[in-house]
Amino acid sequence: MSWQLASFLILGSVLLAGFAWYERSRPPSQVVALVAALAALAIAGRVAFAAFPNVKPTTDIVVFAGYALGPAPGFAVGALTGLVSNFWFGQGPWTPWQMAGWGLCGLLGAALAIGGRNAGRLTLAAACGFAGIAYGVLLNFSLMATYGGELSIQRFGALEARAIPFDAAHALGNVAFALLAGPAMVRMLTRFRRRFQWRLSAPATGIALLLVLVLPFALLAGGGSWLPLIGLLALPLASKPMRTVTNRTDGPSLNGALAGTGAVLAAFSLLVSVGLLLAA
């Protein structure tokens, strides 16, 4: 197997894994719509700035998508941008490399949010500038993989040297766009994300478990009957809704969890009523 073929196999595996990751995350409809809108915005930015070589807001938009929405949506925005925008710029063996390059820019944005989504203007600009340089390095390597020849540091260095003006324009353009509109766009995307994402907080879970553990002992210590406590037999039914609201954000799953919660409450009320009747 040649190194060129191995490179394309790795590239295809990365793209398939990225889209499979996005699909298996089962994003809610709001995220799907936002991914499509951001990809369209990134495509429009690339087309609108076509007259300026490598100076485009596309990479910034992809980085901001990963930063605000997470790694899988960020990768999807970048990969879709590379694929669809080339219907204007021309498809070819460079398309999968551009898809992977912008998809990795989305992952870079997600990595920037690991410590919290509170990056400042300069941090966002530095990340976008680095993304531009890394994207250029990958595309320069793709020239060797696409058009054949020897795999050597000297040849790669020659390609890098020829691409310095274009890569510098890409990085500086990214920095300028990030300084101009980065914080505002990130705030908008983060606010949208918070509107549809809900998580069961750890304190709420702890308080609920504490009440479950303490209530029976308090009731028995007060001289009450233990029979109403048979309502606690309904607690195993709550495990599935608890897992759903902790790990999922899509509407159908949360609606199912809401129905499951109703079933738990009904079973709990029935068992407690039976216990009270037996204790009377």
Q: Which residue has the higher pLDDT, 131 or 154?
A: 131
| pLDDT, tens digit, 9 for 90 and up, residues 184-204 | 898 888 888 777 654 544 554
Q: Which residue has the higher pLDDT, 276 or 33?
A: 33
The first and second tokens of residue 199, run together, are: 């998580």
In the chain, the amino acid numbered 164 is I
Q: Which residue has the higher pLDDT, 94 or 280?
A: 94
Q: What percent of the chain has pLDDT over 70?
A: 66
Is 80 exceeded by the pLDDT of residue 216? no
Q: What percent of the chain has pLDDT over 90?
A: 30
- Residue located via tokens 């216990």: 275
* CB-CB contact of 35 with 25 (8 Å): no
Lowest mean pLDDT among 58-62, 78-82, 85-89, 189-193: 189-193
Query: Stretch 79-91: mean pLDDT, rounded?
Result: 90
Query: Stretch 161-185: mean pLDDT, rounded?
Result: 92
**What's the start-to-end Cα distance of the chain, in Å?**
81
Interatomic CA distance for residues 112 and 67, integer angstroms: 6
Interatomic CA distance for residues 160 and 164, integer angstroms: 6
Interatomic CA distance for residues 186 and 74, integer angstroms: 13
pLDDT in the model for residue 58: 94
Interatomic CA distance for residues 69 and 232, integer angstroms: 39
Helix (H) or strand (E) holding 207: helix 202-221
Any residues with CB less than 8 A from the CB of 46 and at least 6 apart, and which? 56, 58, 81, 85, 89
In the chain, the amino acid numbered 159 is L
Give per-residue burial for 71-89: e unless 16+ CB within 10 Å, then b: bbbbbbbbbbbbbebbeee
DSSP 224: -
Domains of the chain: 3-196 (1.10.1760.20), 202-279 (no CATH)
> Max CA-CA distance within the chain?
90
| pLDDT, tens digit, 9 for 90 and up, residues 133-158 | 999 999 998 888 787 667 778 888 88
pLDDT in the model for residue 193: 74
Any residues with CB less than 8 A from the CB of 134 and at least 6 apart, and which? 101, 104, 105, 108
DSSP 26-61: ---HHHHHHHHHHHHHHHHHHHHTTTSTT--SHHHH
* CB-CB contact of 60 with 182 (8 Å): yes
pLDDT in the model for residue 101: 92
